[in-house]
Structure 1
Amino acid sequence: MTAPAHQAPLPPPPLTGSARAWGTLALSAATFMNVLDTSIANVSLPAIAGDLGVSPTQGTWVITSFAVANAIAVPLTGWLSQRFGQVRLFVASVALFVIASLLCGLAPNMGLLIAARALQGFVAGPMIPLSQSLLLSSYPRALAGLAMALWSMTTLIAPVMGPLLGGWITDNVSWPWIFYINVPVGIWAVFVTWAIFRGRESERRRLPIDAIGLALLVIWVGAMQVMLDIGKEHDWFASPWVVGCAVVAVVGLAAFLLWERDEAHPVVDLTLFRNRNFWAGSLATSVGYGLFFGNVVLLPLWLQQYMGYTATQAGEIMAPVGLLAMVLSPMVGKSIGRVDPRRYATFAFLVFAVVLWMRSRFSTQADFATIMVPTIVQGISMAFFFIPLVTITLSEIEPARIPAASGLSNFMRITAGAVGTSVTTTLWERRATLHHAQLVEGLVPGGPGFDQALQVLRAGGLTDAQALAQIERMTTQQAYMLAANDIFYASAVLFLVLIPLVWLAHAPRAQGAGAADAAAGAH
């Protein structure tokens, strides 16, 4: 029964003992499954496209459909949770995600697979913000930072594990199993979450549907996501399709902002941006995550395409990123109430900058260990990145608005990840083209470098044609390595530039009033 509007319902007490442990595991498993599905299909696209008889370009809509639907649903979390209740909405989202995953695996053609992926992405939208809110409500205020540490590990490690797990499943089983593995995990999460949290439901309010706001959100977010996904293959703004998507996205966003500003029951609560800590924390998180995710995509691409690594070997390079994060995150979570989170976030950005500077020094002779070291060090920055920034973002948000704030900040983060990936891969190819042209200028017949390389290759038994082809391959490899170095270096500088943004936020008050504490009262 809905409580009267003037009464503020008391938040449920924190969970204790095994209930809290099992609740944490169930929420984390659902979150991990969700985040994993944003990247697990990437390496399987050639196999999916070949099996369903479409081109690899058409196959990319398996990724696009999920991203578009997910980006639309995430900011709706606040409105949906008030309408249906946080626990009911979360359990329904996980259950529908399981059904959609099953449909993805069973899809007999690309059209049905894309439809199932769109459904999967849409129902996945509320899962991450609500898992955050429910987890925080399960812990006492003094341990809210620890709750955030446990939650952040799943959202940071899953994107790295996705390509590794997806590649292994595709190579050793078959691609439908990248979706089937969600079924047992999701069913378990549904039953455990409902058993533990059903008595902790939030207040529900029968809000009217902002149909125009929802339609505008679908239009501008959908157009933006499609633009980001098709941009690279259509040479960006040289294509009328990309220009058209960009125009629709900009006009749609402007109309959406104007409409939502005066709407009594908006689908997205834009008044959250009046809070300095929310906008500063969300912006720092989004840009930082966009830089992080763009480089997470770039490194394995470079290793596989130009350094001769297999998908499994590239995954082994990326996997240790979670080691130090898992060790340090609980420590950060326990101490966040005593240490200014702005200091921790600054330290995270500094370490990210150092890691990317180390990568900018790579050469084509870099061995496995050399490439692995920055990845291990990056785990330190990941531990100090998410928890302090979420703490800053939510520090001045009242408990009833936590799902809306979490949904909006996660929408910004997910969108920044998509932008980061598109910008990184596009700049990488364009810088490589530039470096290739510059390198070729020095490779002319009669030049000392060219003639010497040709002689060495001839001495190895290659014909002139084979030697020239080998020189071209080496030049291309060098060009892409130099381009990757450029991206790594620029990303390092941008992480340093981000540091002042963190300090625009107010210092969250000590234990009992910070973000995590406010969120701990969410229900």
Structure 2
Amino acid sequence: MEKGGALPPMTGLALGLTAFALALGTFMQVLDSTIANVSLPTIAGNLGVSADNGTWVVTSFVVANGVTVPLTGWLMGRFGVVRTFVASVALFTFASFLCGLAWNLNVLILFRIFQGAVSGPMIPGSQALLISIFPENKRSTALGVWSITTLIGPVAGPILGGYISDNYHWSWIFLINVPVGIICAFLCWRGLRDRETPTRNIPIDKVGVWMLVIWVGALQIVLDKGKDADWFHSTVIVVAAVVAAVIFVAWIIWELTDAHPAVDLWLFRGRNFTLGTIAFCMGYAVFFANVLLMPLWMQTQLGYTATWAGLVAAPSGVVAIICTPIMARLSGKMDARMLATIAFVAFAVSFFMRAEFTTQGDFWTYTMPMLVQGVAMSCFFLAMLNIQLDGIPPEQLPSATGISNFARMTSGSFAASIVTTMWDRREALHQSRMSEHFTAFAPGYRQAVDKLESLGANALQASGAITHQMVQQAYLLSVDDLFWVSGWISIVMIVLVWFARRPKGDTGHVAAE
């Protein structure tokens, strides 16, 4: 350490190994937010529950992770960034081992909550450490490395989860983290233990944390269980909604008046932070929702295996890997609002292409929009970070990144619940409308039945085949509706980001001060 207390950047092999380990930790955490998506039918069937209940395997992790992210600033200040990150990786690895041993759904959800909670500091911690170990003129490269791992995780998750589900026991979805986590923790501790940040004994806002847990948890219950419980006709849903609303308001008042808030809401006085957070959340929400929806639709309605459903998403990851380093270099020269516009235009084009899907498409038809999405992914995180963190004082960066990641993760979880609900509701609507034209006396229905009977089917089999086709088309129309809405949300976000001020500089330099 130098006299002024500043640590010199790392170089050579030490820099390469440490950057690899930090990126690996980020990738592992992001991967686990999506790896179970395509495996939900397998997990639910193996544990003897419905697929709807199986969605808790995904949302429990994401919510627990999002709730604990705001504590990152306090944990890093109290125990040091290096200790906090390495401990988080070690506990995440242990939680993954427990998830692999789960014997029923309730136990698996409990372990997933534990896994999500302890992984809260992994993404912000890796981001802070990556910036600190790179030379100042390479900090955009550091953010590029971080962005790649953050972006590829949601794409690689369905592929890896699908392959494991089709070829091995679902528990290996979680057990594969064990050796990776051990390597990550070892390399990070070995490379960074002498670079620990100063610590101080700072108070923690226990009341604010508990209120945050309560209102987010209650709202997630409403979104996850509302459909099955007939929404506000259920006492449980009504109580959960009231609790979420009341505690949310109380939480805002508390955080604005407490001397040491768990979430520094005063950061939202900054225009760029507010607009950047809104755009970040909405963009990530539609992205995450569609990452969940695509494999679900392809497996349940098109007959794709989990592996092939995951492979449809692979090209977006390849494009993101190629384009992200280029965008990282451009981010220091280009207005971040223009970079965000490129991202949202690419997202919108990708979603509108998917809104034209039919059940007759081949593998490449479903894959082409993912290529466009890869371009969007390469710009999105870099642009949003530049806009969000512009003008944030160095001492407030941990709080700002904590809020950013909390908002992103919870918006993704809420979107996952909302999109599955809306998919079923829109399917019911489209099926009802089609049923009006397929009565026993409708000429089209009679012609279809007669044709099937001429091929050897009896009346019951013919009716069943027609009903199956109608349900399949209803789900197609429903998924196309959701893609269309996602596209227009992306268009609206383009307008929003231009209300932000032009960021003064590179996020890498801002965050590293």
Same fold (TM over 0.5): yes
Q: Which residue of 2 aligns with 1:5?
A: none
Distance 1:397 1:357, change over 3 A: same
1:328 to 311, 323, 330: 323
Is residue 146–residue 333 contact of structure 1 (8 Å, CA) maintained in 2? yes
d(CA) in 1 for partners of 2:198, 2:366: 51
Is residue 18–residue 191 contact of structure 2 (8 Å, CA) maintained in 1? yes
d(CA) in 2 for partners of 1:455, 1:111: 49
**% of aligned pairs identical?**
50
2:509 to 507, 512, 517: 517
Distance 1:140 1:105, change over 3 A: same
Following superposition of structure 1 onto structure 2, how do residues 34-73 of structure 1 map, counting pairs within 5 Å? 34-49=29-44, 51-52=46-47, 59-73=54-68
Question: Which letter maps to 2:511?
Answer: A
**SS of structure 2 residue aligned to 1:117:** helix
d(CA) in 1 for partners of 2:269, 2:136: 25
**SS of structure 2 residue aligned to 1:168:** helix
1:60 Cα offset (Å) = 4.4
2:270 to 275, 284, 292: 275
1:483-515 C-alpha deviation (Å, 9 max, x unpaired): 1111111111111111121112211224xxx32
Larger deviation, residues 411-420 vs 195-204: 195-204
1:304-342 C-alpha deviation (Å, 9 max, x unpaired): 111221211111111111111110000000121111111
1:159-198 C-alpha deviation (Å, 9 max, x unpaired): 2222332232233222222221111111111111112222
Q: Which residue of 2 aligns with 1:508?
A: 503
1:226 Cα offset (Å) = 2.4
Q: Which residue of 2 aligns with 1:144?
A: 139
Q: Which residue of 2 aligns with 1:436?
A: 431
Distance 1:417 1:64, change over 3 A: closer
Q: Which residue of 2 aligns with 1:204?
A: 199
Question: Which letter maps to 2:192?
Answer: F
Is residue 428–residue 474 contact of structure 2 (8 Å, CA) maintained in 1? yes
Q: Which residue of 2 aligns with 1:194?
A: 189
Distance 1:463 1:129, change over 3 A: same
Is residue 155–residue 314 contact of structure 2 (8 Å, CA) maintained in 1? yes
Distance 1:108 1:497, change over 3 A: closer
Question: Which letter maps to 2:331?
Answer: I
**SS of structure 1 residue aligned to 2:198:** coil
Q: Which residue of 2 aligns with 1:319?
A: 314
Number of equivalent positions: 512
Is residue 453–residue 462 contact of structure 2 (8 Å, CA) maintained in 1? yes
d(CA) in 2 for partners of 1:413, 1:203: 28
d(CA) in 2 for partners of 1:215, 1:444: 55
- TM-score, normalising length from structure 2? 0.95
The question of 1:223 aligning with 2:213 is answered no
Larger deviation, residues 282-291 vs 358-367: 358-367
d(CA) in 2 for partners of 1:296, 1:430: 19
Following superposition of structure 1 onto structure 2, how do residues 387-426 of structure 1 map, counting pairs within 5 Å? 387-426=382-421
2:460 to 449, 453, 465: 465
d(CA) in 2 for partners of 1:299, 1:201: 43
Q: How well do the aligned residues superpose, as a CA RMSD in angstroms?
A: 2.1
Q: Which residue of 2 aligns with 1:303?
A: 298
Is residue 350–residue 496 contact of structure 1 (8 Å, CA) maintained in 2? yes
Q: Which residue of 1 aligns with 2:124?
A: 129
Q: Which residue of 2 aligns with 1:24?
A: 19
Q: Which residue of 2 aligns with 1:3?
A: none
1:371 to 366, 374, 385: 366
1:282 Cα offset (Å) = 1.3
Is residue 64–residue 226 contact of structure 1 (8 Å, CA) maintained in 2? no
1:150 Cα offset (Å) = 1.5
1:348 to 297, 322, 343: 343
The question of 1:497 aligning with 2:492 is answered yes
Distance 1:165 1:492, change over 3 A: same
d(CA) in 1 for partners of 2:171, 2:363: 32
1:120-173 C-alpha deviation (Å, 9 max, x unpaired): 111101111111111122223332222222111222221222233223223322
Structure 2 stretches of 5 or more lacking a match?
none
2:236 to 231, 235, 241: 241
Structure 1 stretches of 5 or more lacking a match?
1-7
Is residue 15–residue 138 contact of structure 1 (8 Å, CA) maintained in 2? yes
1:261 to 256, 273, 278: 256
Question: Which letter maps to 1:230?
Answer: K
Distance 1:9 1:54, change over 3 A: farther
**SS of structure 2 residue aligned to 1:320:** helix
Q: Which residue of 1 aligns with 2:179?
A: 184
Distance 1:9 1:408, change over 3 A: farther
Is residue 143–residue 334 contact of structure 1 (8 Å, CA) maintained in 2? no
Q: Which residue of 2 aligns with 1:90?
A: 85
Question: Which letter maps to 1:452?
Answer: Q
d(CA) in 2 for partners of 1:345, 1:366: 31
**SS of structure 1 residue aligned to 2:221:** helix
d(CA) in 1 for partners of 2:160, 2:179: 16
**SS of structure 2 residue aligned to 1:179:** helix
Is residue 145–residue 332 contact of structure 1 (8 Å, CA) maintained in 2? no
1:259-307 C-alpha deviation (Å, 9 max, x unpaired): 1112111112222112221111111111001011111111212211112
Q: Which residue of 2 aligns with 1:4?
A: none
Distance 1:341 1:126, change over 3 A: same
d(CA) in 2 for partners of 1:20, 1:236: 53
